[in-house]
Amino acid sequence: MGDGQETRRFNEQVRKACRIARKLRALGIRPYGIVRIDSATSVAEWAKDPVANTKRIAATFRQACDIAEDHGERLAAEGEICWGGMHSWKTMLNLLETVDRPKTLGFQADMAHTLLYTLGYNAPEDRILPQDFSWEQREVFRAALKTLTSALRPWTIDFHVAQNDATVKGMGSHDKTGRHCLVADPNGKLDITHDAGYWLRDESGRPTRAFQHICWDGCMFPNDTMMKMQTWNDILAAMIKVREAHGWN
């Protein structure tokens, strides 16, 4: 979203990522996949001029799309609330539509991050869940997920299975970013297997077949947690349940 030099620097990183991705594809290591991008700006900076700044981000993303197409790659915009212009489900949808390159730029849906779209942490005006919502109201929550996924599922080309306790933290430019929880965290708000279906199935309940793999987002966990075998047993068990419930060959 910066000046010409900053946008050129941004897109040079996209070019490097696409070049590496193409090499891995040629070697047979990576037969498919996406390159993830974000707006690289804070919500506060974007909010100084939302209309103009969205146009600037979109222009940068269109340049990134040109680079990706030159390398035979696709880009996915990360749905995380800390990125300006991507911080709510409505601003994210507006940005994707403004770029208007659906064959090249899609959406990366991480179950942990997208949960926060329903709560409107960085965009109260776009909150889906009512202010007096309580987590015992599962049908209200599922209705909110339906609203969210109906809007962004058509753009989704990359999917992360994850858990979230519906709290946020701040870290540098990552203002009010989400927390990932372990599968068995008692504070987790998602029914992982069930709620993944809102992303993996269309309005008629049919698998979307929009991508060839799913993954678990393991960021924000300490190394000692990641070195425990039980951590991975739980993660793989959750992913297998999602695959069995909503997957395809």
Contacts of 5 (CB under 8 A, 6+ apart): none
Q: Is the pTM of this model over 0.85?
A: yes
Report d(CA 154, CA 210) in Å as an integer: 9
Please name which of 180, 61, 181, 44 lies closest in space to residue 123, comparing C-alpha atoms.
44
Please report how the helices 138-152 and 192-200 are oriented relative to each other, as an axis angle in degrees rounded to 10.
30
Q: Give the tens place of pLDDT for each residue, 158-191.
A: 999 999 999 887 665 556 777 788 999 999 999 9
Pairing status of strand 35-37 against strand 75-78: parallel
- Is residue 89 a contact partner of residue 97, using CB atoms and an 8 Å limit? no
Report d(CA 200, CA 209) in Å as an integer: 8
Identify any residues that bridge with 132 across adjacent strands, giving them in sequence order: none
Q: For the domain covering 4-246, report its CATH number.
A: 3.20.20
| 188: DSSP letter | -
Report d(CA 172, CA 152) in Å as an integer: 27
Q: Give the tens place of pLDDT for each residue, 29-80.
A: 999 899 999 999 999 999 999 999 999 999 999 999 999 999 999 999 999 9
Report d(CA 1, CA 4) in Å as an integer: 9
Q: Give the tens place of pLDDT for each residue, 113-135.
A: 999 999 999 999 999 999 999 99
Any idea where the domains of the chain sit in the sequence?
4-246
Q: What angle do CA 41, 117, 122 make, to 5 degrees?
A: 45
Name the average pLDDT for the chain.
93
Report d(CA 88, CA 130) in Å as an integer: 16
Please name which of 96, 90, 108, 83 lies closest in space to residue 217, comparing C-alpha atoms.
108
